[in-house]
Structure 1
Amino acid sequence: MRVNYFPQKLIYLIAIVLFTVGNTQTAQAQDFEKIKEFFTFHPNHKAVAKDSTLYASKFIAAPVMSYSPETNFAFGTGAKYLFKFNGSGEETRVSNMPITLQYTLNSQFFVYSGFEIFTNQEKWVIEGNILFQNYPRLFYGFGTNSPESAEEEYNYYQLLVEPIFLKQAFTRYLFVGAGVRFNHIYSVDIEEGGLIDQTRPTGYDGSTSLGVEVAALYDNRNNVLNAQNGWYLETTRGQYFEALGGTHNFDLTRFDLRHYTKPFADKDDIIAFQMVGRFTRGDLPFSEFSFLGGSEIMRGYREGRYVGRDLLASQVEYRKTFKNSRFGAVLFAGGGDIYNDVSDFQFKNLKPTYGGGLRFMIDKEERLNLRFDVGFGRGSSEFYLGIAEAF
């Protein structure tokens, strides 16, 4: 499960890509593998040497760099732990635990992990997000017609903890469960006399959201990091109460629907589709409003360019893979909007997004790509560097 307010994805050491330029194809492959292995550790290599049926887990740690318009360039260290529990075979997908520590040119820092863990035979899925950051954000006002000229910056600290435990139920790829979500916003710094200071929405100077979530997940993707086929549908419903220690009473419903298919039997090209929704009711604090834009969906708009209670957005992406090469390309298009209430939805008001990008596969076994995208919105354009696909 991804979080809209954290658009950054890691980018592996840029020297890895630069190192491949100007060499022969054979030299590129050999040199790249040497560099990748330098940053890769195999915690269970001794056990794998004795039992070849075990999955060779990988702990990849390296200097990293990313870019998104919300953060500017970010530098730091990152790690990704890919593993399976002992006793898991081909029927169990690879668990993914990334950890990121970065500092940005906008004087931000963030520590983040968005994990997805499969137990043996996928009897359980444990997923969630852990985030601690100091995050300056731009604000243009509420509503679908907020003007660019209203831009102002505000800063805050955020601690988010969201574990969800899902048990396999009824059929192979269906999981149901529950979790908790704690989202604490504090040390907020706003512009004196600015739009936030004038309107002072509830929770503008900090808030704590603490609630219980129920969740359902259907996931039969063949690969979690870069699927070639399958469906993914997750929906969560959270109830937040002051009685639990929060500052506001409200409810939050989210869904994320994706589908992946190969249009040609003799090619590895992929068509990927995604639709997301976010719907809120009750006494909603400022930090829990829906923010449109980012590096995952509605690329081309800065995250938070438009702010409302509810959000609907979708996108489709064509992913082209070149044979006998680590390089690929994508084209994407979509649309979305924010609403005070989703019943206000109208097709004619959808904000468009479109663009394209390049890919470089850094791990063929896991199909893990470096990503460079350029997105265009209505009167805006942005570019993004990262690791792994947008969805």
Structure 2
Amino acid sequence: MLIYFWIGILSGQEEQVLDTIFNKDTKTFLAVPLITNDPVMQTGFGGLGLFFFKINQQDQKSPPSLVSLYGIYSTNDSYMITPFARIFWGEDRNRAAFGVGNLRVNNDFKYEDYDGDFRLVYTEMRTFMTAEYSKKVWRDFYLGILYLGTQTSYAFNRGTQEEKDFTKAFFEENGIQDNFVSSIGLNLSFDSRDYPYYPTRGLSFSIRPKLNADWLGSDNDYVDTDYEFTYFYSLSDDKILAASLAGGFAFGDVPFDGYQNYGVRNSLRGYETGKYKGRNMIASQVELRWRFYKKWGAAFFGGTGSIWGNENNGEEEFERAWLPSAGLGLRYMVSKEKRINIRLDYALGVDGNQGLYFGVMEAF
């Protein structure tokens, strides 16, 4: 989910306050108001709490651990609340992540087909829990286990009566219904990045196969796999080239809410998350990050991707073979110690898709 936050950059004591907050030798707590502007959720307001810490102060290799709480309510009556933790310990030999969340997103997607345009207007309500633990097994390789549980339900109470009736009939005709997904999986990863919150060099990849089965409580039996590759290269002291390849694939009795969502995990910016869905997705992008003056920076990015394999749930309008994106952004580094940026990005896609994004830390 895209996050915007405002902080008193124009305050006369901003530098002193941030240097104190982000001192690497102390625990770090930051609470800030949020303003969001998402292509799906529209404008929203909320708050973000970030707490950086080290489990062992003598540990010189582990990155700072992070606990966060994110909550937002938007102008189209969508909301999200998500506590999350990312923990590093034991000289970075151990890594764990935990998260729970509850959200309601009011979708209004416009599609084009051979008979003209049509709209799907519906509310998606979701409660989820995720937990993961990984251990270093050799050099920069990690092997981990994970669990994901997600309850999704749909409602048709927005838009005109014609839009509500059409969307409900569309869902019923294509077997799209409330669903519970419960899965266990593995995470094979490699991470040679110099710093996880703002890498300047190194390579990382993660491959996560997951089994969804009725004996785990899942309503559907299927296997899905997510993957992500990132690479960072310092062109100079103030310029970084970043590249990403991400996506996933699934086979078996895959439900509608188990499909890949184009635009999720920032692949790619410029598209409404959830508008394009399918069993299979691939998205690649390249970004040039340039710090041009003190704490100020810019980013220039572009990429393309594809999503396909929606033969069981819905129509082919969910699929797209060619979804390019390009954009630019502005950066402000609120901490040199923790290398934390706030960002403002504008991205342009095809068929009128576009987005304006304010975020905490980089897109990938």
2:293 equivalent to 1:320: no
2:192 equivalent to 1:224: no
2:43/2:75 contact within 8 Å kept = yes
2:121/2:164 contact within 8 Å kept = no
Cα distance between partner residues in 2 of 1:219 and 1:239:
24
2:3 maps to 9
One-letter amino acid of the counterpart of residue 11, structure 1:
F
1:45 maps to none
Cα distance between partner residues in 2 of 1:93 and 1:294:
25
Deviations 1:236-270 (A, max 9, x none): 11101112212111111000100011012xx2210
**Which residues of structure 2 form unaligned runs of 5+?**
158-162, 311-319
One-letter amino acid of the counterpart of residue 117, structure 2:
S
Cα distance between partner residues in 1 of 2:169 and 2:296:
48
The 5 Å alignment of 1:134-149 reads: 134-140=104-110, 149=117
2:259 equivalent to 1:292: no
TM-score, normalising length: structure 1: 0.82
Structure with a larger share of its residues in strand: 2
Q: Could you say what the CA RMSD is over the residues aligned between the two structures, in angstroms?
A: 2.6
Shift of residue 349 of structure 1?
A: 4.1
Shift of residue 117 of structure 1?
A: 1.1
Identity of aligned residues (%): 22
1:292/1:298 contact within 8 Å kept = yes
Shift of residue 289 of structure 1?
A: 1.2
The 5 Å alignment of 1:152-231 reads: 152-171=120-139, 173-186=140-153, 188-189=155-156, 192-195=164-167, 197-200=169-172, 204-231=176-203
Counterpart secondary structure, 2:257: helix
The 5 Å alignment of 1:348-359 reads: 349-359=321-331
Aligned length: 350
Shift of residue 90 of structure 1?
A: 2.6
2:308/2:321 contact within 8 Å kept = no
2:44 maps to 74
1:294/1:300 contact within 8 Å kept = no
Cα distance between partner residues in 2 of 1:354 and 1:33:
33
Shift of residue 183 of structure 1?
A: 0.7
Q: 1:387 to 1:87 in 2, by over 3 A?
A: closer
TM-score, normalising length: structure 2: 0.88
2:356 equivalent to 1:386: no
Q: 1:361 to 1:8 in 2, by over 3 A?
A: same
Counterpart secondary structure, 1:193: helix
Shift of residue 204 of structure 1?
A: 2.5
Deviations 1:319-359 (A, max 9, x none): 00024x21100100100010118xxxxxx943211010101
2:318 equivalent to 1:336: no
Shift of residue 33 of structure 1?
A: 2.6
Deviations 1:172-201 (A, max 9, x none): x21101121101113533653324522536
The 5 Å alignment of 1:34-183 reads: 34=16, 36=18, 40=21, 55-140=25-110, 149-171=117-139, 173-183=140-150
Deviations 1:253-290 (A, max 9, x none): 000100011012xx221000000021011111111111
One-letter amino acid of the counterpart of residue 245, structure 1:
G
Shift of residue 145 of structure 1?
A: 7.0
Shift of residue 36 of structure 1?
A: 4.0
Counterpart secondary structure, 1:89: coil
Deviations 1:15-48 (A, max 9, x none): x23x26xxxxxx5xxx21355479x599xxxxxx
Q: 1:365 to 1:109 in 2, by over 3 A?
A: same
One-letter amino acid of the counterpart of residue 186, structure 1:
S
2:313 maps to none
1:344 maps to none
List, as ranges, runs of 4+ consecutive aligned residues in structure 1 with deviation greater than 6 Å: 144-148
2:251 equivalent to 1:281: yes
Deviations 1:291-342 (A, max 9, x none): 212572211111123221110000000000024x21100100100010118x
Counterpart secondary structure, 2:117: helix
One-letter amino acid of the counterpart of residue 355, structure 1:
G
Shift of residue 91 of structure 1?
A: 1.3
1:202/1:284 contact within 8 Å kept = no
1:68/1:295 contact within 8 Å kept = no
Q: 1:149 to 1:129 in 2, by over 3 A?
A: farther
1:308/1:338 contact within 8 Å kept = yes
One-letter amino acid of the counterpart of residue 9, structure 1:
I
One-letter amino acid of the counterpart of residue 339, structure 1:
W
Counterpart secondary structure, 1:122: coil
2:234 maps to 262
Deviations 1:145-175 (A, max 9, x none): 799932322112211111111111022x211
Cα distance between partner residues in 2 of 1:203 and 1:222:
47
Cα distance between partner residues in 2 of 1:351 and 1:41:
39
Q: 1:378 to 1:35 in 2, by over 3 A?
A: same
Shift of residue 97 of structure 1?
A: 2.0
Shift of residue 9 of structure 1?
A: 2.2
The 5 Å alignment of 1:16-27 reads: 16-17=8-9, 19=10
2:136/2:142 contact within 8 Å kept = yes
Cα distance between partner residues in 2 of 1:160 and 1:382:
26
Q: 1:137 to 1:128 in 2, by over 3 A?
A: farther
